[in-house]
Structure 1
Amino acid sequence: MPKLNFGFQITNRKRIIGALFTFIFVFSFIYYLLPSALVKAQDCGTNLDCQISQIQREIDALSPAQEKNKQDLAALNKQITDLNAKISKLTLQLKTLETQISGREKDLAYTKAIFDEKAKSQYTFLRLYDPITPFLFSDNASQAFQEIALRQKATDANRETLEKYAGDLAALKSDKETLEKSKTSLSSFQSQVAEKQKFLAGEVAKVDSYLTSLSAKQQELLAAKSGSFIASVGDSELADDYKASIKGFRESAPSGSFAVFSFGAYTHRKGMSQYGARGRAQSGQNYKQILSAYYGKEPVSKDTGGTINVAGVGNINFEDYYLMGIAEMPSSWHPEALKAQAIAARTYAYRYKIEGKQICTTEACQVFRKSKADNPPAEWKNAVQATRGQVLEDVVTYYSSTSGGFSTTSGWDTTDGSGGANFFDKSYEKIGGSPWAYKAWYRQGYTASGATCGQDDPWLNNEEFTDIVNAAIVLKNGSDERIYPLTTSCWTNGNPYSYAELRSKGGVSAVTSVSVIQGNGTTNEVIINGSIHLTGAEFKQAFNLRAPGYIMIPQKAFAFFNIEKK
């Protein structure tokens, strides 16, 4: 039978192994440089320009080599992919051969059984055979010679069967040996390729991570030089929805996720922060100090007797009924915060009173509830009575739940009156426990039970976040009406861009790094992958247009947010 060839040749093997060792050398060289580069950066001391320039030199030195390594690794990965395809094909062939060999073993076992019977018969025949017999029992010599010839052919046929069996047996043994060698070689080479590929991918990732950290450090230094900062938020579960809190994001979001957290929401950021007032009261400030912090002045006494015209209610007593029904702050809060709220509410309504104007009962003015006025809680009643007649002169006493740690009228609402990277952790709104101080919004409206449009959390995977970045890039280059959420079922039917369509318009394929530069109560800049620069307003516009479901930054006249990456 023909000899089967199980040997396989991988012509690129030497070249692949050579490339692997080249990579090892290059990465070793890069990591030899990294420590020295870090030492040099430290020589700059506190000189920000020096540190920024030093980091840029490191990036410039490493980036070309890393780019070349990525290209080479991509080529190597393609070769390995091709090799694995060949190996898979060979493995299939070997499995087929095993099946064939198994079948041949059965056939040969049957052949051997037949051969054994023939051998036994031939042996018996030879033992009993008498060469004279054909001549004795034949009619003539020709017939005798014919019988001898037939017996010789039978003997030759048996011998050929024996030789064929021996040949098949030898071929089978050779096939098995070759098969085992091929499988052993295949397994060994697969392990080598997998190990080297894993090593190289890890090394490329390490250098990428290092370059990203350099870029992030450079952005921090640039922010410090310009007076801006990168916010750092502690692990605080303040949001009224666990998934919307930073604690929920860090504990439960999948690795690689992004989330956009707003500093304050649904606010005009003017006047007093109610949660800030609570935090100040809990920190020991009295109501006069609280009002002075937010409005720049202390209250004075006025004649506040008489009535006020309330929409849907009519003219009612100003102090003893209208103010008792103001429903703007929980009565369980600190007494000094309640007093500050009473004076702010009194001052706001006092203008309507003295000018004879009608005041509304909703948030458009300030909330009044007749049921509360009929039976005011003791704590609120005490706050109104304790501050009777006290108002703030020459100021409109705007107030809101949460301003995000910064007010346009009084600046930073923090324990030291300044911003900086840790401004949130020292904000009075955090001390006061505001659920809106730092929250990722994903529900319709501002309640914790609003609809979600099928979006069970505010966390975005890399593809979703990258798509929003690409929307911002397209918007920056000119508005486009096709940029709105792909979740059209909750909005309106239409034809929004697909991920691929947006990406093809000058977008990026993935987001590997993000830096957010903060200023005085505003997000100055969002930097993507170290090279894409967006203003806070540009990012917010794209985010609110493109983010899935009801995910949004609910800030109308400002943009003050942070982007977290897990």
Structure 2
Amino acid sequence: MPKFFLAVFLLILVFSLFVGARTALGDELDDINKQIEELTQALNQSKEATTPLETQVKGIQDRVAFIEQDIAKKKASIEKGYEDLATQTDELNAAIRNYYIKSYYNSPILIFLSSNSASQITQILAYQKAAADQDKRIITNIALSIQSLEERKLNLESEQGRLAVTKENLDKIIKEAKIYQGVLSGKIAELTARQQEIINARSGTFTATIGDSNLADDYYASINGFRESAPGGYFAAFSFGAYTHRKGMSQYGARGRAQSGQNYKQILAHYFGKEPNSRDTGGTIKVAGYGDMDFEGKYLLGIAEMPSSWHPEALKAQAVAARTYAVRYKDQGSEICTNEACQVYNDGKANNPPAEWRAAVEATRGEVIDGVVTYYASTHGGFTTTSGWDTTDGGGGGNFIEKAWDKIGGSPWLYKAWYTQGYSVNSAKCGRSNPWLSPEEMADIVNTAIALKSGGIDTSRITPVTTECWGGNPYSMSELRSVTPGGISQATSVSVSQGNGTTSQVTINGITLSGDEFKKAFNLRAPGHLSIPQSGFAFFNIEKK
């Protein structure tokens, strides 16, 4: 019976102390719950992303690994606790037995009867109370340890179960998200073969030089034609240079420099970084379709890359550039082609060269620029990748066109809106008489750019609406607008940002696109043969009447 009362007493004592201790122990699953919620949220967000999930998944996996490590530590701690429990159990039994014996024999009445004085009674009672308190603390601490181990064991089992479910769900979500990412990326990023064909046809992927006559001008493609004749509210995309790699020498730039007093060595030094040196260039060169021919005495005389009526210093610069370009083939014994893929050769001209061109070739005989591939094109648009701004002061700014050597040289391609199938003014125009765009047509270009970025539609149908020239099954302008998030029906305003030979931004009706995004949309969707014929760069302006 006394043992029963002792057990009840201990339970009451432990319970009263443990109620206060529970708040200190806390819920060890709170952190796990929070991490699981964060993992789920991160995975849900990944489904809406348009880029691969590898980085995000790695972070999730690291956090799962952290949870597993935390569980392993808790498990080890619990196992150690149970190992220590054997010793603590012996201490608990001894403490309970000692407490019971003391409480039975240390009766206050016996102490009172057996003591000699009140002081002795007080000392004995104080000692017994201290001993009893010590026993209580031992009993309580051991009981709490047992209770804590049991609760931690239950929590651990719960954590392990929930983590297993979380990992299973995680694997499933990641798999679904990756499938989703693949489908979405495919719809947004990939262009059909037909679309790539259209872009290539409109991007000026080959380089055009002048030839033996000046480039023809086109009033309707010029800024004056647009400003004087286009309807109000219309737009036009004007390219700064076209059909050019922007490397090496601008032929119209060389002409402008020569007309302004520069000699051929100064011109070449600007465009190629050094002046020419003399060497022996005698011998023959293999020419496609003609076989071996005298390098200086015939081949160079037949180069048809610049009008012979141009300034003598410009002709000399052209002769050195052409010689330097071809001498590599001569030295290697390789065959050189006769078109713009290499440089244009005309056998009739070689047999009867104009006096001015013969003089330029003979005056520079043997002169080449060492260690340089002498690229050249008709018009660079006021900027070259090899020497920067090609202007009178070497700088850009809002007035760079006025000081561009291309303009001084008279290039009609410096600032032009393109609407012909090729660079010739006589090439096909797909029924259009000018390169101007109505507000609805310009809005359609903007909608194209938005649709290509956002995806979610059949992007293979984003082709020119002029099917008589391009075929296919394109969206009509109204169809594309209806399926484009934030699509617009009319363009009413435009602003363009440029810098260092690049169009960085185009903003229409408050919608901002990068220069590359706009150029891609324009070349993919613009009606007829309208284009921005620049390969590898985007340097253009949008004019509004």
**TM superposition score category, shorter chain reference:** 0.5 to 0.7
For the 8 Å contact 2:481–2:489, the answer to whether it is kept is no
Q: Which residue of 1 aligns with 2:532?
A: 553
Q: Which residue of 1 aligns with 2:434?
A: 457
For the 8 Å contact 1:269–1:400, the answer to whether it is kept is yes
Q: How does 1:108-507 map to 2 (within 5 A)?
A: 240-478=217-455, 480-506=459-485, 507=487
Q: 1:58-113 CA deviation, whole Å, 9 max, x = no partner?
A: xxxxxxxxxxxxxxxxxxxxxxxxxxxxxxxxxxxxxxxxxxxxxxxxxxxxxxxx
Matched position secondary structure for 1:481:
helix
For the 8 Å contact 2:447–2:480, the answer to whether it is kept is no
Q: Which residue of 1 aligns with 2:488?
A: 508
For the 8 Å contact 1:322–1:373, the answer to whether it is kept is yes
Matched position secondary structure for 2:541:
strand
4+ runs of 1 displaced by more than 6 Å? none
Q: 1:154-195 CA deviation, whole Å, 9 max, x = no partner?
A: xxxxxxxxxxxxxxxxxxxxxxxxxxxxxxxxxxxxxxxxxx
**Offset at residue 495 of structure 1 (A):** 3.6
**Offset at residue 312 of structure 1 (A):** 0.9
**Offset at residue 435 of structure 1 (A):** 1.4
**Offset at residue 501 of structure 1 (A):** 3.3
Matched position secondary structure for 1:523:
strand
Q: Cα–Cα, structure 1 residues 500 and 281, in superposed 2: closer, same or farther, change >3 Å?
A: same
Q: Distance in 2 between matches of 1:403 and 1:427?
A: 10
Q: Cα–Cα, structure 1 residues 278 and 399, in superposed 2: closer, same or farther, change >3 Å?
A: same
For the 8 Å contact 2:464–2:474, the answer to whether it is kept is no
Q: 1:261-310 CA deviation, whole Å, 9 max, x = no partner?
A: 01111111110000110111111111011001100100100101111111
Q: Distance in 2 between matches of 1:364 and 1:239?
A: 21
For the 8 Å contact 1:474–1:502, the answer to whether it is kept is no
Q: Which residue of 2 aligns with 1:134?
A: none
Q: 1:25-55 CA deviation, whole Å, 9 max, x = no partner?
A: xxxxxxxxxxxxxxxxxxxxxxxxxxxxxxx
**Offset at residue 239 of structure 1 (A):** 7.0
The one-letter amino acid paired with 1:461 is S
Q: Cα–Cα, structure 1 residues 332 and 239, in superposed 2: closer, same or farther, change >3 Å?
A: closer
The one-letter amino acid paired with 2:518 is F
The one-letter amino acid paired with 2:286 is N
**Offset at residue 500 of structure 1 (A):** 4.3
Q: Distance in 1 between matches of 2:328 and 2:474?
A: 51
Q: Distance in 2 between matches of 1:250 and 1:504?
A: 34
Matched position secondary structure for 2:492:
coil
Q: 1:224-245 CA deviation, whole Å, 9 max, x = no partner?
A: xxxxxxxxxxxxxx97110000
Q: Does residue 519 of structure 1 match 2:499?
A: yes
Q: Distance in 1 between matches of 2:483 and 2:283?
A: 68
Q: 1:373-406 CA deviation, whole Å, 9 max, x = no partner?
A: 0000000000001111110000000001111111
Matched position secondary structure for 1:261:
strand
Matched position secondary structure for 1:525:
strand
For the 8 Å contact 2:254–2:314, the answer to whether it is kept is yes
Q: Cα–Cα, structure 1 residues 358 and 315, in superposed 2: closer, same or farther, change >3 Å?
A: same
Q: Distance in 2 between matches of 1:444 and 1:535?
A: 25
Q: Which residue of 2 aligns with 1:91?
A: none
Matched position secondary structure for 1:457:
coil
Q: Distance in 1 between matches of 2:483 and 2:347?
A: 59
How many aligned positions are there?
Answer: 328
The one-letter amino acid paired with 1:469 is V
For the 8 Å contact 1:526–1:536, the answer to whether it is kept is yes
**Offset at residue 502 of structure 1 (A):** 2.1
Q: Distance in 2 between matches of 1:504 and 1:352?
A: 54
Q: Distance in 2 between matches of 1:364 and 1:497?
A: 38
Q: Which residue of 2 aligns with 1:532?
A: 511
Matched position secondary structure for 1:364:
coil
How high is the sequence identity, in percent, across the aligned residues? Answer: 69
Q: Which residue of 1 aligns with 2:520?
A: 541
Runs of at least 5 residues in structure 1 that lack an aligned partner in the other structure: 1-237
The one-letter amino acid paired with 1:427 is A
Q: Distance in 2 between matches of 1:273 and 1:316?
A: 28
Q: Distance in 2 between matches of 1:390 and 1:420?
A: 36
Q: Does residue 562 of structure 1 match 2:541?
A: yes
For the 8 Å contact 1:239–1:439, the answer to whether it is kept is no
Q: 1:493-549 CA deviation, whole Å, 9 max, x = no partner?
A: 3242433432442212322211110011111111122x3110101000100111110
Q: Distance in 2 between matches of 1:453 and 1:428?
A: 33
Q: Distance in 2 between matches of 1:313 and 1:448?
A: 31
Q: Cα–Cα, structure 1 residues 324 and 334, in superposed 2: closer, same or farther, change >3 Å?
A: same
RMSD in angstroms over aligned alpha carbons? Answer: 1.3
Matched position secondary structure for 2:463:
coil
Q: Distance in 1 between matches of 2:216 and 2:294?
A: 38
Q: Distance in 2 between matches of 1:370 and 1:557?
A: 33
For the 8 Å contact 1:272–1:295, the answer to whether it is kept is yes
Matched position secondary structure for 1:308:
strand
**Offset at residue 451 of structure 1 (A):** 1.2
For the 8 Å contact 2:481–2:488, the answer to whether it is kept is no
Q: Distance in 2 between matches of 1:553 and 1:503?
A: 26
The one-letter amino acid paired with 2:535 is K
**Offset at residue 456 of structure 1 (A):** 1.1
Q: Cα–Cα, structure 1 residues 239 and 360, in superposed 2: closer, same or farther, change >3 Å?
A: closer
**Offset at residue 467 of structure 1 (A):** 1.0
Q: Cα–Cα, structure 1 residues 495 and 547, in superposed 2: closer, same or farther, change >3 Å?
A: closer
For the 8 Å contact 1:308–1:358, the answer to whether it is kept is yes
What is the TM-score of this pair, normalised by structure 1?
0.57
Matched position secondary structure for 1:348:
helix
Q: Distance in 2 between matches of 1:444 and 1:344?
A: 29
